[in-house]
Amino acid sequence: MNRAARIGVLCVSVVIFCYAGLGHVLGRTPDDKAYKSLTVYSEVLQKIQQDYVDEPNLHLVTSGALHGLLESLDPQSSYLTAREYTEYKQKQAANANGDAGLTLSKRFGYIIVVSVLPDSPAEKAGIHSGDIFESVAGFTSRDMSVGQAMNFLHGQPGSGVKVGVIRRGKADPDEVDLVREKLATPKIITAKVDPDILVLRLPSLDPGRADEIRLKLQDAEKQGIHKVVLDVRDCGRGPVSEAIAVAKLFVPSGTLVTLRGQTVTTQVFAADPGKVVWKAPVSVLIDATTSGSAEVLASAIVTNHRGDVVGERTFGLASEQKLISLDDGAALFLTVANYYNGDGKSILEEGVVPSEVVRASAEDDTDSGEDDGGSADAQKEPVAPRPLSPEDPIFRKALELLKAPQKKAA
């Protein structure tokens, strides 16, 4: 950076500092915290420029500060630079709908896989829930937002992208090639595990899913089936509106979920007795691979005491993001509203706590410490659910509860 540029940056910093100070003195706003934050940022920027061991790249410093600012809010809020946002818009304009089939978040500072869509490029490449992406498209995910990672993973069908995957129990990443595909809506997996019990595994909650489930429930009733298991483990896709529509098939009364944000009109979604098609017992299977709209469905069942929700606390991703363009060509994916359960608790912050806590695998039982079913700090990494079998402890517990003599329809 030449001398003129350095002087320019310093002058801008001074202007920000003076503007913040003057605004604070004149009392132009009741919120002094914003001005104090600006003065701190200005001071830090000046110290970096004056005293850092080497001449800093202030563009990278500013970009890094903005990434950190958004990430400090929640894992799904993201900052896209002007170049990244331009690339994002180009993909949208070109209808580049190739996808890897992943639900992502951040943990330990890196991008983490929450769930994997069946038959997706990610599943075909051996990606599992709980895998950590050390890099995406050649860039370390340590400094990458979820929005950036998703932007890299989307593209033209048939094109490829490399990810560095750190698998459970390994220290070094494996390089994996993902070939993007235009994904089809995954089918509901149906299994009759007992003459009286139907299992519906929901890999996603895409639009139209509620109508599918309604038909399957009506058919099950005709067959004399009186108990249903909804498996929403590894389910992380679909709009919340579809989860609400599915919940209305089961819950006759009460609040299903509430959407609330600083600038978003509060919406309370209530049950509708006229839309209920299943009044018999129901159990829902969840764990840390359950996220987003599936959490809203599970929450509606458990908070209204409509049935047993069995497993482990969900990941916690039920929120709404808004794309906001900035004057310099950059953009924000900003969380503008959270979904709250019937008890008023944020699903984003606390996930969904099962009514019956069951650890997902035998090795988890060896962990020390108290029950982690309701503790956000103790939440484990997502683990891909096993196929339905007697060896699946969560599924086994749900069957025991459904078969218990005291079990009655709601």
Q: What is the pLDDT of residues 193-220, one digit of tens each?
A: 888 999 999 999 999 999 999 999 999 9
Which parts of the chain have pLDDT scores under 70? 1-35, 37, 361-388, 406-410
Distance of CA 61 to the CA centre of its chain: 28
Q: Do 115 and 291 meet the contact criterion of CB atoms below 8 Å apart?
A: yes
- Angle CA(365)–CA(368)–CA(369) in degrees, nearest 5? 110
Report how far residue 143's alpha carbon sits from residue 161's, in angstroms, rounded to the nearest whole number.
Answer: 18
| C-beta neighbour count of 34 within 10 angstroms | 12
pLDDT of residue 167: 87
Q: Do 156 and 178 meet the contact criterion of CB atoms below 8 Å apart?
A: no
pLDDT of residue 127: 95
- Helix, strand, coil % over all residues of the chain, rounded to 5: 35, 25, 40
Report how far residue 217's alpha carbon sits from residue 226's, in angstroms, rounded to the nearest whole number.
Answer: 10
pLDDT of residue 321: 94
pLDDT of residue 49: 78
pLDDT of residue 31: 56
pLDDT of residue 70: 84
Show the beta-strand stretches assigned E in 186-232: 189-194, 197-201, 227-231
Q: pLDDT (tens digit, 9 = 90+) per residue, 84-109? A: 999 999 988 888 899 999 999 988 78
Mean pLDDT of the chain: 85
Report how far residue 174's alpha carbon sits from residue 188's, in angstroms, rounded to the nearest whole number.
Answer: 32
175-to-134, 139, 154, 164 alpha-carbon distances in Å = 10, 12, 18, 5
Token pair for residue 303? 């908070």
Instruction: Give the residue carrying structure tokens 């998703």.
Output: 150
Token pair for residue 277? 């098609």
Q: Which of 215, 206, 164, 168 is nearest to 187 (CA)?
A: 206
